[in-house]
Chain A
C-alpha cells in the first residue's frame, strides 16, 4: 500500500533562513505528489504538484520541491522564510487506481523565529 512519511513533526527556523521540509513516499511507479499548506483556522491550500517531467517543480509563495526517485523523496524548500510562512505543511501522494484519493502525511508544523 502507498504511504507518505513526514519525519519532522515540528521545525523552527529564523526569518530569512532557508527551509527544507522532508517527505518520503512508498510507491513502485512514478507517483503523483503534492504539497499543501494549512494556516491556522484555514483549509488546506495546494502549494505545488509533481506528475512527470522536470523533477524540480515551482509552486506558489516562493516554494519549490524536488522529486528524487532514488531516495523516494519529495522535499519542499524555500530559500528565505517569511514570518507568514508559519503554518502546517502536508505532503500527499495520489493513490493510483482509486478515484483520485490522496494519501496524506501527518504534517510538519513550521514555526518562524523573528
Chain B
C-alpha cells in the first residue's frame, strides 16, 4: 500500500513567488489534514477536509495561504506570495474515517523561502 504522497519533497523559492504543495492521500481515506512544523511553533494544524469539503481553516495563517481538494485523491496548499517566515516543513495526513481517529502522515515538504 502506498502511503500518503507529498510533492515536492524540497522547495526553495524566492520571496514573493507562488508556491504549490501537493498531496495524495491514502486511497479510501475520507479526511485530509495539512500541518506546518517549525522549531519555534511546533506542529500546527492549518486546515482539514472531510469528503473533499473544507471543515476548519482557522489555522491558516493569513490570506496568502489557500488549500483545495478537488477530488478524493488530490489536495494542494498554495502560498502566494511567499515570505521567508513561511519556511517550514509542511505535512499532509489522511484519516480513514468510519470511527477511526488515527492519521497517517506523508514525508513532508521542506519549504525554504529566501
Contact = CB atoms under 8 A, between A and B. Distances in A.
Interface of A: 32, 34, 36, 42-46, 49, 51, 90, 94, 98-102, 104, 106-107
B100 to A, nearest CB: 8
A52 to B, nearest CB: 11
Interface stretch (B14-22, B42-50, B67-75, B79-87): B42-50
Given A100-B50, A104-B43, A107-B42, A49 B102 contact: yes
Interface of B: 4, 31, 33, 42-43, 45, 48, 50, 55-56, 91, 93, 95, 97, 100-108
B105 A43 contact: yes
Contact of A43 (B48, B100, B106): B106
B43 A46 contact: no
Contacts of A101: 33, 45, 48, 56
B95 A100 contact: yes
A46 B104 contact: yes
Given A44-B93, A100-B97, 5 more contacts: A34-B101, A43-B105, A99-B31, A102-B101, A106-B42
A100 to B, nearest CB: 4
A100 B50 CA distance: 9
Given A43-B91, A99-B31, A100-B95, A107 B107 contact: no
Contact of A100 (B42, B103, B107): B103
A55 B71 CA distance: 38
Contacts of B103: 46, 100, 102
Contacts of B42: 104, 106-107
Contact of A94 (B50, B56, B101): B101
A37 to B, nearest CB: 11
